[in-house]
Amino acid sequence: MSITPVITGIGLATPLGDTLAATWDWLCAGRHITDHARVPGIESGDEPRVNMLARRVALEAVASAGWNAGQRQSAALVVGTSKGPVEAWIGPAPICDFETTNMPAGRSQVFGLADTADAVARSLALGYGPRLTLSAACASGLHALIRAALMIRSGEADRAIVVAAESSLHPLFLHSFRRLGVIPPEGVGCRPFDEHRAGFLLSEAAAAVCLELPQTAQARPWAAVDRFAMGGDATHLTGSDPAGGLLRQLLAKVIDSRAIDLVHAHGTGTIANDPIELAAIDSVVSSQDPAPSLYSHKGALGHSLGAAGLVAVTINCLAHRHGLIPPNVQTTTPLPVRCVRIHRELESRQIHRSIISAAGFGGPTAVVSLVSV
């Protein structure tokens, strides 16, 4: 019998709020960003912003799960990020003396993508459990969640904390995305699955979830990680398969011809991505009454790249717990759909089963399903 890990703690920081509750309240109220945006309440300092975000959500998630110091000692840590501490690796490396371990204040001897995991581990006083950093472009967060779930299923770890964080509002990336034609004109915003979509806004965000075995959970689980699948289409450096072949396969494997209530799509609001993703979803989702609700948080929160998949997981956990789905707030003229519904208002609906999809440049793709417990 397959082990089904449960999510017992979650943390979230987005441009709408630096806590889980703040973001959820504003999402449900229909608030949304209007330009590239950072998380409020994070003061810039010597430490990279992405590390500060990761530490904040990790602490919130562990507190939510009720883990004590002893439980943290054995916990695995899996971090997903597309770029890590960009302020550090775009500029000169920090000056330090590795022989005497004389580092700049607040910094460790770790440099590069792994720096974020090191910051989280030190902040939580983690022990020597497994520690891993994954970078799979905009699918990083979901890939990290899947890797942690595999650790628990295999017995490699009894519990794991998964963190996805991104702070890439650097001119290099903003202008690069603009040259690719995926940044909307000023004032348009991000409009997932809309006839008049023109791209996405970049944003900071971080999310964290605590995974553990059902029998060890002290806190009430938010949801269980039901099924998952990941792969790479390797079609193009920045574009996905126009036929959506890989995504259809992953969706079919995860949905497994079972009823679902919520599809939290990648939904970037770009000209190319949305029709491909929508066609794949419509081809795999079985007709049911009521039809599953289709949602993308990027209309409200923007695109947080490597953090986006795990941000979606935390929002789905909230939807499962509260029986609410935030509005697709900027989708005013939805694309035609067959087997799903695109709602523009806050929707009250009991969520028994939901899915999340994420995809990134170069083809990394993942789909995860959650079930209420």
302: left (phi over 0), alpha (psi -120 to 50) or beta: left
CA distance 26 to 255: 30
Q: Is the pLDDT of residue 84 over 50?
A: yes
Average pLDDT of the residues in 7-32: 98
| Phi, psi of 304, rounded to the nearest 5 degrees | -100, 20
pLDDT (0 to 100) of residue 111: 67
Q: Which of 325, 283, 358, 356 is nearest to 7 (CA)?
A: 356
Which residue is associated with the tokens 């699955």?
A: 193
CA distance 142 to 309: 5
- Give tens-digit pLDDT for 34-71: 999 999 988 877 889 999 999 999 999 999 999 999 88
Average pLDDT of the residues in 336-364: 95
Q: Which two tokens stand for residue 117?
A: 């995991």
CA distance 321 to 306: 25
- Non-local (6+) Cβ contacts of 33 within 8 A are 15, 16, 189, 201, 203, 300, 301, 302
pLDDT (0 to 100) of residue 89: 74
Q: Band the pLDDT of 90: cuts 50, 70, 90.
A: confident
* Coil, strand or helix at 355: strand
* Coil, strand or helix at 207: strand
**Weakest mean pLDDT among 97-106, 137-146, 260-269:** 97-106
Q: Are 126 and 206 in contact (CB under 8 A)?
A: no
Q: Is the pLDDT of residue 103 over 60?
A: no
| Phi, psi of 114, rounded to the nearest 5 degrees | -70, -10
Q: Which of 355, 353, 310 is nearest to 142 (CA)?
A: 310
Q: Band the pLDDT of 94: cuts 50, 70, 90.
A: low
pLDDT (0 to 100) of residue 45: 76
Q: Which of 290, 282, 292, 295 is nearest to 261 (CA)?
A: 292
Domains along the sequence of the chain with CATH: 6-216 (3.40.47.10), 223-371 (3.40.47.10)
Q: Is the pLDDT of residue 97 over 60?
A: no
* Coil, strand or helix at 138: strand
Average pLDDT of the residues in 290-315: 98
pLDDT (0 to 100) of residue 1: 47
Q: Band the pLDDT of 108: cuts 50, 70, 90.
A: low
CA distance 230 to 243: 17
- Give tens-digit pLDDT for 143-180: 999 999 999 999 999 999 999 999 999 898 999 999 98
Looking at the chain, the number of H-run helices and the number of E-run strands are 11, 13
* Coil, strand or helix at 165: strand
CA distance 110 to 132: 13
